[in-house]
Structure 1
Amino acid sequence: MSPLWLRSGVALGTLLGALAVAAVPAQAGPADDTALRRTVESTLVAERGAQARAAYASTALETMVEPSRRSGAWVFGGAVIRVPDGVEASPVTALFLAHRVAGRWRVTLEGTPEFGAAAQVAPVVDAGERALFAVRPALAGTATGLALPWAQGAGWAHWGVHGDSGTSRPYNAIDFYGGDGHVRASRAGKIYRFCTSARWPYIKVVHDNGYTTGYYHTVNQTTKPDGSDIALGEQVGDINTQLPCGGSANGDHVHWTLWQGSTAVAVQGKDIGGWTWYEGSSAYQGYAERNGTRIYGNTCCNLVNYGGGGPTPTYSTGTVNSGTYSSVNVRSGPGTSYGVIGSQAHNDVIQIACTASGGSVSGPYGTSTVWDRKPDGGYVSAAFVKLDAGQPVPPGC
């Protein structure tokens, strides 16, 4: 379906009535009904416009309406307020339900009681989504039940705590990079896309505990259709600098955001991935803390993902045999082409989170392409490590 981009500089109050917009012609068909698009747009700008203007520091709003399912008088889809060029942010988005009654469209947006009620009767919503879209009270406490968006036990890095658009409040966003670059779902939920005319759209996952997480700038994304279940740790895509909904990006990363319905949720004091997150004195500062250890931005790659809560992970152990060397290199990836980030002495006992296939290395235990990944994200060749007696074989990374 071809998208429809609409630009408006009209005041928010005026938009609540009839919108004065310049529309790009859409292809004919029932899903491109002009009245539907205009009603969705006016509702989106009325309910999310102030949020977008504050985040983008812009008065002109450009919107996109993407119907995806239609049954009788009902339509389900997504709507976007595009990020202006040059602004580093993820887009303001909303799923919508539209119901044609007495010749007029009634539109509700996710995160509202009206949307939750409409989802219970709309034939375009399945049983799993009905439960997911039911409105929940605000979540209390610091626990989120969310993991960091990469493999459990692996270490990445971050560029500090900030707003969805840099200095915008609240600080609900963190930019992550490093590791294997594979971006994974922070918790089980259902996946939805926005700005789908682009090859690599914006993805967000709506979770069963009331939170929603966003994943911007990714490529090589999952091919699962919208509304599909996605598991904790299942791959969403890879870090990159894609801008399907506009904006700006500097260096491969995922712009990860935290929401509850349509409300941005500050990460301050929240437990995410086993770390408690804190803001700094300004955007792109702050740190993650766990057991007295603080990880500030641009420190690669020791921000280990401990998952979304529950028991502390258990790891296999192995003993290092450095052979004729005084120590064994610890590398940032599974091969000698990766940088050296540390070392292990002879007879050191190390924890092994998982094993990965990589470059071939010869050592006391023969020639091996297996690399043992430690919980901090460092890799040691299995040619220099013997699994301790009685330890389970580590899983693959």
Structure 2
Amino acid sequence: MLPRPSVSAYMRTAVTALAATALAVTGLLAAAPAAPADSSAGAGHPPAGVTVKMPAAIADRLGAEREALVDAVSADVLSRSHDARGLAPRAAVRELADEGRKVVVDVRDVAGDWARGVAYVEASRTRHGAPEGWLYIAHREDGRWVPGLEGDREFADHVADSPLVGAAERRTMTAYAEREVTPDAQASPAGALANTNGLLLPWMPDHYMTLTGGAHAHDGATGHWSSLDFAGGNASGLVRSSREGTATSMCGPGGGWTRVIHPGGFSTDYYHLHNTTYYNGTSIARSALLGSIGTDTCAGGSATGAHVHWALRTYDADYNGQYTWLNGRTIGGWAWWNGSLQYSGCGTRLGVTACPGTAIYNRTG
């Protein structure tokens, strides 16, 4: 993990007004929380490319601390972003804005000296790819905000202490944070397949979807080949959680990006969804309904046809959360293998090989 830049030296981000209309959320799961009715914040003029989402009630509670909170979270996000590495925050925001990409800080809850929410860097809209995003928890200590982004040590510490994290969510997220996995390690084809703790493919068991993209990087370009694309099938296009865990709608109400943190060291991302359920740190069951396949690009990227972009994440030994390798791992009863090129990889099960264009049944064993 790169060292954090000094917020005061680099960037002063004021809270901006953001008029947002809450999209209707269909009641796909009774346990899902109500979407916030208002996402507007107090007036201000952040640098071009920075968007702040903050319900008016939360903005009022934060008062003069709003700017400092957004400063701290923005700096951490840019220090973690692959596309902003090595740049001062102000320069990074300017460069991303030149590409039509936003840095988004969404403040969803506050209590005393604590705040939590979601932050992300949009993907390019001119090429296939996916955004970079993190849950965050921030604590005000000695007059300054200390944020922890999902995957770093501060996040794990804040999860243990923050009153904004419920008991069930804390158990799941602590188990996730304390799992030390090395994303660079590769499973050996000759050895036992890497354990993913029973993760399923993202639809109902014993139904099928068509594999449209084999193992590839989350952004379609660099990094571990962590992702698969699926479409069609006999599951009515409904996308479901790969396992039980804690779900968060990364783009907010109506957005097509959901992340589920599972017990045991893994989390999964689901992008391009349509007709989504709104979740905000919500405990869900295995195969909980998340939405339908779609072409949503709420956080950038592109999609040429309705599908779900599914990606596997974990933590390394330094608590650096990142997308991880699929090669040799079993998901939905299929062992997944890299191809010679991105998107060309296949799955194997019981002597059957399924490559892109093949209908694949989701199996529990």
TM-score (norm 2): 0.73
**In the alignment, which residue of structure 2 is the partner of 1:221?**
276
Equivalent residues of 1:15, 1:45 under 8 A apart = no
Residue 235 to residue 131, structure 1, CA distance change in 2 (3 Å): same
> Is 1:194 the equivalent of 2:250?
yes
The 5-angstrom pairing of residues 186-265 of structure 1 reads 186-196=242-252, 199-223=254-278, 225-261=279-315, 262-265=321-324
Deviation at 1:38, TM superposition (A): 1.1
| TM norm structure 1 | 0.68
Asked if 1:181 is matched to 2:246, the reply is: no
Aligned to 1:306: 363
Q: Counterpart of 2:194?
A: 142
**Alignment partner, residue 209 of structure 2:** 156
1:327-346 correspondence to structure 2 within 5 Å: none
Higher radius of gyration, 1 or 2:
1
Query: What does residue range 67-146 of structure 1 map to in structure 2 within 5 Å?
Result: 67-134=107-174, 135-139=177-181, 142-144=194-196, 145-146=198-199
- Contact (CA 8 Å) 1:53, 1:59: kept in 2 or not? no
> CA separation in 1, counterparts of 2:288 and 2:203?
9
Q: Deviations over 1:197-218 (max 9, x none)?
A: x632411101012111000010
User: What amino acid sits opposite 1:137 in the alignment?
Assistant: R
Partners of 2:209 and 2:12 in 1: CA distance: 44
How many angstroms does 1:15 deviate by? 6.9
Structure 2 distance, partners of 1:277, 1:291, is 13
Residue in structure 1 matching 2:75, options 19, 42, 58: 42
- Describe the shift of the 1:59–1:257 C-alpha distance in structure 2 as closer, same or farther (beyond 3 A): farther
Shift of 1:167: 2.6
Q: Across the two proteins, how many residue pairs are aligned to each other? A: 290
Deviation at residue 132 of structure 1 after TM alignment: 2.1
Aligned residue for 2:127, secondary structure, equals coil
Select the structure with the greater relative contact order (CA < 8 A; seq sep ≥ 6): 2
Residue 115 of structure 1: SS of its match in structure 2?
A: helix
Structure with the higher fraction of residues in helix conformation: 2
Post-superposition CA distance 1:96-126 (Å, at most 9, x none): 1111122211111122222111211111111
Per the alignment, do residues 14 and 190 of structure 1 end up closer, same or farther by CA in structure 2, a change over 3 Å counting?
A: closer
Report the equivalent of 2:23. Answer: none
CA contact (8 A) 2:293 2:306 kept: yes
Verify: 1:292 aligned to 2:351, yes or no.
yes
Deviation at 1:17? 5.7
Change (3 A) 1:90 1:203: same
Q: Which of the pair is proportionally richer in strand?
A: 1
Kept in 2: contact 1:277–1:288 (CA 8 A): yes
Which among 277, 300, 306 is matched to residue 336 of structure 2?
277
CA contact (8 A) 2:214 2:342 kept: yes
Gaps of 5+ in 1: 1-11, 313-397
Contact 2:216 2:225 in 1 (8 A): yes
Q: Which runs of 5+ in 2 are unaligned?
A: 18-40, 43-58, 87-93, 183-192, 316-320
Confirm or deny: 8 A CA contact 2:314 2:324 kept in the other structure.
Answer: yes
Residue 231 of structure 2 aligns with an amino acid whose one-letter code is: Y
Whether the aligned pair in 1 keeps the contact of 2:243 and 2:262 (CA below 8 Å) is yes
C-alpha contact (below 8 Å) 1:19/1:38 kept by paired residues: no
Aligned with residue 267 of structure 1, among 326, 341, 350: 326
Q: In the TM superposition, what whole-angstrom CA distance separates every residue of 1:163-222 from its partner, at most 9, and x where no partner exists?
A: 0011322100111111221001000001101222x6324111010121110000101112
